[in-house]
Amino acid sequence: MTIRVLLTDDQALLRATFRILIDSCADMEVIAEAGDGAEAVELARALRPDLVLMDIRMPGTDGLAATAAVCADPALSDTRVLILTTFEIDEYVAGALRAGASGFLGKDVTADALLDGIRTVAAGESLLSPVATRSLISRFLAAPAQGARLAVPGDLGALTAREREVMAWVAEGHSNEEVAGKLFVSPLTVRTHVHRAMAKLGARDRAQLVVIAYQTGLVQAPPPPGARS
Q: Which helix (H) or strand (E) holds 81?
A: strand 80-85
SS3 92: helix
pLDDT of residue 180: 93
CATH of the domain at 33: 3.40.50.2300
Listed residues 127, 158, 181: the one ending a domain: 127
Q: Are 123 and 154 in the same domain?
A: no
Measured in degrees and rounded to the nearest 5, phi and psi for residue 127 equal -115, 80
- The range of the structural domain enclosing residue 122 comes to 3-127
Beta-bridge partner residues of 80? 51
Number of domains in the chain: 2
Q: What is the pLDDT of residues 192-216, one digit of tens each?
A: 999 999 999 988 777 778 878 887 8
User: Which residue type occupies 87?
Assistant: F
Task: Determine if the pTM surpasses 0.75.
Answer: no
Q: Are 64 and 104 in the same domain?
A: yes
Q: How many CA atoms, within 13 angstroms, populate the side-chain half-sphere of residue 56?
A: 23
Q: Are 186 and 115 in the same domain?
A: no
Q: Are 194 and 91 in the same domain?
A: no
Domain membership flag for residue 51: yes
CB 5 within 8 A of CB 31: yes
Of 85, 89, 122, 133, residue with least CA distance to 105: 85
Q: What is the pLDDT of residues 160-185, one digit of tens each?
A: 999 999 999 988 878 888 899 999 99
Q: Are 72 and 170 in the same domain?
A: no
